[in-house]
Amino acid sequence: MNIDPSPSQRERQQTAQAARELIELLEVLWERGRDMVSPTPVSASQLRVLYSLDREEGISLRTLGDLLGSAPPSVSRMCDRLEALGFVQRLPSSVSRRQLELHLTAHGKAYLRDLRDQREEALLAVVAAMSPTSRKALLRGLTGFQEALGEGTQTGSSRPDTPLKDVSSA
């Protein structure tokens, strides 16, 4: 017995499929941006470390592991590689002599700034090609999507300057 899904279920499925396709396209744009920023681009996991340190400057390896949902040895190896690239620096903790704090170096901050600039440029080119009505609809949809996620709490983001909230005109 083949039951046709209800219109609302069909709409949810179509929306989910469109979102998946959009995410896949964004991944391609993101990779292009990463390749343009540095001759030695970091892996996706290492990039998550850089983003985490950008949001939570001076955290410990243990806290970083909790944020990433990774085991301490894996986090330590990623930080070793990022330190070798000159993106991350480990410094003694001001709270405990037994802990180290993780900090982005000036080179790490510049890498993220350049990466974000490249990605924003790519997104702006696409958004500029959209009609004003489509841009407004996209903004409404992305804002609703973000709200449904709980404003970043699912991803561990504590960043107060959520990009979708900073958009003043579409």
pLDDT in tens, 110-153: 999 998 998 888 889 889 999 999 999 999 998 998 898 885 54
Contacts 24+ apart (CB under 8 A), 4-13: none
Angstrom distance (rounded) from CA 134 to CA 22 = 15
When pLDDT is averaged across residues 12-22 and rounded to a whole number, the result is 87
Which pLDDT score, from 0 to 100, does residue 75 have? 92
Residue 31 pLDDT grade (very low, low, confident, very high; cuts 50, 70, 90): confident
Angstrom distance (rounded) from CA 23 to CA 82 = 26
Token pair 């499929």 is at which residue? 17
At 113, is the secondary structure helix, strand, or coil? helix
Q: What is the DSSP string of 68-81?
A: HT--HHHHHHHHHH
Top-confidence residue, 103 or 6: 103
